[in-house]
A and B are shown apart, each in its own frame.
Chain A
Amino acid sequence: MSASSLSVATNLVGSFTAEAFAAHLASLPPSLPAWWIARKRAAYEKFAALPLPARTDESWRFSSISTLTLDGFTLPSAAATQVPHAPIGIKKAAKLVFANGRLFSHEPLSAELAARGVIVTTLQDALVKHEALVREHLLAQPPKLGSAKFSALHEAFLVDGAFIHIPRGITVEQPIGVFSYALGATTAVFPHTLVVAGENSRATLVEYFGSGQDTEAQFAAGANDLYASHGAHLTYIGKQDWSHRALSFQSNSTVVRRDARVQSLNVHLGARQARHESLSQLQAPGAFSEMLALTVAESGQEFDQRTLQIHQAPNTKSDLLYKNALRGTAKTIFSGLIVVDPDAQKTDAYQSNRNLMLSDEAEANSLPGLEIQANDVRCTHGATSSRIDPEQEFYLQARGIAKAAADELLTFGFFEEVLNRLSADDLHEALRVLIQTKFKK
């Protein structure tokens, strides 16, 4: 092998070499099923073979490509001894805390919920005890939004994650919490959350991603799978608050079955460059997916959000609202696509991206797309980019509120439209505090 071809091959995998992968496999418990190990091997092959995104890739349009490095990261081995204080102060039905990909601590479900068959456990545990359910749903939806390489990397190096199953007809009143921390200067983590909501079940999941310190140049390739069976109602809230020097990829996939509803809200605060892909598949009549996102982008940060709403059956509904507030030299990309399959008549799809420009250096890119192959549909989308409305600013100033305070109020008002979509008041309040704290920093 010549030197040049060797260097190309190295660039394709960076720190995630075949040796590192072998070491990773060796570190896994021997109890894991063989099919899972085989899938991981196949995923590694795929990861190593796929090229890095190129400037001409449509699915990476406007993204910074040169900063997508796979070098300089380490796979954590030692168990963590301490994790930061969890910032969401609301009551939870159960809680799983992961540090560097391994379970750090957990608060179990009440005996009553456990007796009714609700499961909140680790993936490693579920791969053994609930093998069929995991096998059916774990990373079952192929990545469609451009990050095939990073999804394969995630699957190959996935150590552990959360598995949540709500049986048919069961309601879990309080949110279930999943916390994932990356600790250490160059740590690479691969968080995963799998939720299988049975028929007519109800549950809320709160997920948090954070770092030990805000200066750590970490790497995260995460994914989650949400499956809402017939009539299930699922609320998902994800808060990404990685270190400001982290590189993050997150790929979320949601499957919504007949008359089921999934509401997801992703709050993006951390990382230097964060790519977030959200796929919603509306597979049967009556399915409804509400996709929400709030981003506070600051100097030196790039948030790259790609969404796909696929209407595969008649009488399905999706509603997307992504709001970005841009400060300093922040850069955001929103690329959304609504696909209405032939025969998915009576589809009602909406997609909206609002960018609030709070600085003269910020850059907002919007790619709101539609691909419609049925005629009896209601599909609209909108994208706007603008500063704070001077009239509203003037109104507040005329009532004696200083300009800075007025701007802050109006910015919070901008976020409120998204937060108001949440039905749980305590969650709403907790998120508001989190975002405002970040904003005032």
Chain B
Amino acid sequence: MKPPTETDLLPDSAEAAAVENPAVGIDQSAGNFSYNMEYAFDAGTGLSEDTIRYISSVKKEAPWILEFRLKALKKFLSMPMPTHWATKDLENIDFQKIRYYLSQGQKPKRTWDEVPDDIKKTFERLGIPEQERKFLAGVEAQFDSEAAYSNIKEIVSKQGVIFVNSTEGLREHPELFKKFFGKVIPTGDNKFSALNSAVFSGGSFIYVPPGVKVAQPLQAYFRINAENFGQFERTLIIADEGSEVVYMEGCTAPKFSTSTLHSAVVELVALKGAKIQYITVQNWANNVFNLVTKRGIAHEDAEIKWIDCNIGSRLTMKYPGVVLKGERARGEVISIALANDGQHQDTGAKMIHAANNTTSNIVAKSISVGQGRSTYRGVVHIPKHLKGCKNNTECDALLINTNSRTDTYPAISVRGDKNSTQHEASVSKVSEDMIFYMQQRGLTEGQAMSLAVNGFINDLARQFPMEYSVELKRLIDLEMEGSVG
């Protein structure tokens, strides 16, 4: 029930350290490999109506889904790149060089024995320990486009929870998922949500019945395993009245020389009084464009919390949002971003208040190392005739090296005199006194820097599940190696 940890990976990482840059280290080395796969279904590279029809027919989808995909493709092609506000790096994506669908044609496996050996090997390299493999219940490890392994823990299904991949969700439970599918994030929301709507495959569809509190966090791993292969997972989580669920998503990816595109759409629906917590640790390889749309709708008294941690990728653009639709709904985004050389973490949050007495909180911390660039972009919107709405936003940026870069671009709109917002941001560096103090006590400069950076995000990291915060600490230690001196 947890992502790979250092202990699990020690033999591998030691091996990797011998041959490659040791600073890349644990997590990346775990993902730094690929097998020659015999892809049973391959839509080839490039994007056209035929690609869409091919994907849809392979998945044996209902006609309305094909219709939905084709419409989305038109939308995608008609929309301009958002480069009037976003980075020009987006122009380097060559959509015709991307593989939009790839599958081994397997149905999600129900038991461990049915999982093919080479895929088991992948899990091994990912460092999932023996006992956990047996307990993989609740873990959906996405191997390329399809869920290679999808086993719902017995207890969870006994509670009536549906935890399937997107294809299965739309096929087996259309009555449940069709109602909200594409409703939180409409196809035309942005160019990349349109792209995802056209070519989506994989991802999780989850339904939690009224009053059910899922004790275990549901987890899914995603990885990319083919050169130029884009991953377009689609996730929809519906928490019915009074239910509670925690979903965790972690990513590792092999390193490739050419750019890879990852463009997911994640929709959350928290009905009256429900609580959803969505945790992401993103650590794609440094050639991945990670352009993700994530949004939740919180109904009356519901609560949606995004915990979003971005460490990898070449360019991440991701602004998890909450539409506070019902009275007293609460939205929260906790965001940590770390940008190293060659990386741009363009992350943030959106809070759309649409009912009285709704509250939202955004806490974002970013660290820029070397020539890394981190950007906070946020929207807080409180329209007319609402009362008692409150937003608090805090953004702190830490710059490690003299040429590191950080930007902050919030947009706050408030109408009326019965609401309040506050936004604060600061930029700082690690204090020399602090480093000096720690060096006096025997730490190397690098260790001291690591400790200081971990201290900077400590109050946020504590909100992660324990194993994630441990992993986060190790990732930061690795990223900070070589950043000083």
Contacts and interface: CB of A to CB of B under 8 A. Distances in A.
Interface in A371-425: 371-387
Contacts of B110: none
Interface in B361-391: 368, 384-385
B424 A381 contact: yes
**Chain B interface SS verdict (over half):** strand
Given A363-B415, A374-B402, A385-B414, A368 B423 contact: yes
Contact of A380 (B407, B414, B426): B426
Interface in B415-460: 415-429
A351 to B, nearest CB: 9
A58 B82 CA distance: 11
B403 interface: yes
Nearest to A384: B422
A365 B383 CA distance: 11
Interface in A166-224: none
Contact of B411 (A360, A366, A372, A379): A366
B410 A372 contact: no
Contacts of A382: 422-425
Nearest to A370: B408
B411 A385 contact: no
A361 B408 contact: no
A386 B407 CA distance: 26
Contacts of B416: 357, 359-362
Given A342-B403, A360-B418, A384 B423 contact: yes
Interface residues of B, number: 37
Given A375-B404, A380-B426, A383-B423, A369 B409 contact: yes
Interface string A328-353: 00000000000000110100000000
A61 B411 contact: yes
B411 A376 contact: no
Nearest to B402: A375
A372 B414 contact: no
Contacts of A360: 384-385, 415-418
B356 interface: no
Nearest to B428: A378
B453 to A, nearest CB: 13
B400 interface: yes
B420 A384 contact: yes
A2 interface: no
Contact of B408 (A56, A365, A378, A381): A381
B399 interface: yes
Contacts of B425: 368, 370, 380-382
B407 A379 contact: no
A121 to B, nearest CB: 43
B88 interface: no
Nearest to B424: A382
A16 interface: no
A263 interface: no
B418 A387 contact: yes
Contacts of B415: 360-364
Contacts of A375: 368, 399-404, 429
B409 to A, nearest CB: 5
A20 B414 CA distance: 42
Contacts of A368: 408, 410, 423, 425
A358 interface: yes
A28 interface: no
Contact of A372 (B385, B397, B423): B397
Interface of A: 56-58, 61-62, 342-343, 345, 355, 357-387
Given A58-B85, A371-B407, A383-B422, 6 more contacts: A57-B84, A363-B384, A367-B411, A380-B424, A386-B419, A386-B422
Ranked nearest first, the 3 interchain pairs of A and B with the lowest CB-CB distance are A375-B399, A386-B420, A357-B417
